[in-house]
Every structure is written in C-alpha cells, then in structure tokens.
Amino acid sequence: MSSSTYRMRPDRFLGILAVGLIILGVAAILWAFNPPDSLVSVLVALGGLVVLTGLWVLARPPVLLKLGKDSIEVRGVKTAWMDIKTVDLVATTQGEAVALRTKRPDDTTLIPLRWLPPGRQEPLQTDLRDRLNAAHGYTIWDGRAE
C-alpha cells in the first residue's frame, strides 16, 4: 500500500484571511485621517503578510494525518500499526472522532472527523481498516470456509 495523506478542512482557516483583511481595513481607515506614513506602511505590510499567509493555508491546509506502510502519523505523533490495539468512534467536544488506542495504557490518539474535508471521512475509515487488517494479518471474510 502506498502512503496516504489527509489534510484538514480549508474553511477552518478562513479566520487567518479575515484578520489580514481587517488589518488592511484599519490601515485604510487610518490613512483617511492622515496619520504618520510609517504607521500606515506597517499596517499595510502586516495586513498583506497575514492575507498572503491566509491564502497559502487555504491553498495547502495543514496535514492532519499520514498513513504509511508501517506507521500512522497524526499531527506529528508517529505510531506503528502493530502498536494499535483498538480503533473506535467516540464522541468528543469536536464531534465524532476516530480513537486509536495503543498497547500502552492511557495512550489514545484522536482524529476529529469534522476536521477533514467533506467526503473524506469514509475513505479514511476504510483506509484505516485496510491498513490495520494488513498489519495484523487479517482478511475480510468472504463467506467461504477454506
């Protein structure tokens, strides 16, 4: 299996773009009152950088998780497939999440499903199931006894 990357929903980061536009609006309002040019220049530069950062993040949202051949990496925490004991759907303050519980006590990694773009929740769950089955040597029973 090749590696899979799941990114966060871009709309979670619209606030960055909005803050940049607000700073540019404040600079425009201040400019109308003829303040020192350096103040307006600083606000325009800051607002422009924040807007560009917001556009960059909207175009390439942060990676939520990477599924590799031997491990899963969730927000920078890497866990081997063989270390995962159970996978459950749990209710959290962020809505429904996939809980990856490892063999170590009190070690659970949560993947909030609403952080994923629409339509990516089902492929993630299928991908997780297939990779865990492959790691533990399970196959989906087709109804035939062998």
pLDDT tens sequence across 33-78: 999 999 999 999 999 999 999 999 999 999 999 999 888 999 888 8
pLDDT in tens, 15-32: 999 999 999 999 999 999
Q: Is 81 helix (H, G, I), strand (E, B) or coil?
A: helix
0.85 surpassed by pTM: no
Host H or E run for residue 43: helix 37-59
Q: How long a stretch of residues is the chain?
A: 146
Instruction: Give the model's confidence band at 88: pLDDT under 50 very low, under 70 low, under 90 confident, else very high.
Output: confident
Could you give the angle at the alpha carbon of 38 between the alpha carbons of 34 and 44, nearest 5°? Answer: 85
What is the CATH code for 67-136? 2.40.50
